[in-house]
Amino acid sequence: MKVLKNVLIILTTAMVLTGCEEKNEEYYLNNIDSANKKVEQCNQDLEKAFMARDKDGIEKIKKDPECRAAISAIKKDKI
């Protein structure tokens, strides 16, 4: 019973960590709906940072690897 409990804990941890991976361009090319949602979220975050005149926040969003990957995937998908 104790072994089963440990196996379940390990599997649950692995699934949680897998779900937290940073998404790259390849992921977004295969999941264009997710790319569109991510770009929408990035644009909303960018607008909030702009309205708050948060220069660091704006730069952080512009350089965000997931935002850039989603934008790139959408551009490639349209070609």
The model's confidence at residue 5, banded by pLDDT at 50, 70 and 90, is low
**Exposed e or buried b for every residue in 18-49, given b needs 16+ CB within 10 A?**
eeeeebebebbbeeeeebeebbeebeebbeeb
Residue 2, pLDDT score: 66
What one-character DSSP code corresponds to residue 21? Answer: S
pLDDT for 1 beyond 50: yes
Q: Indicate if the pLDDT at residue 7 is higher than 90.
A: no
Predicted confidence at residue 17, as pLDDT, reads: 45
25-78, pLDDT tens digit by residue? 999 999 999 999 999 999 999 999 999 999 999 999 999 999 999 999 999 999
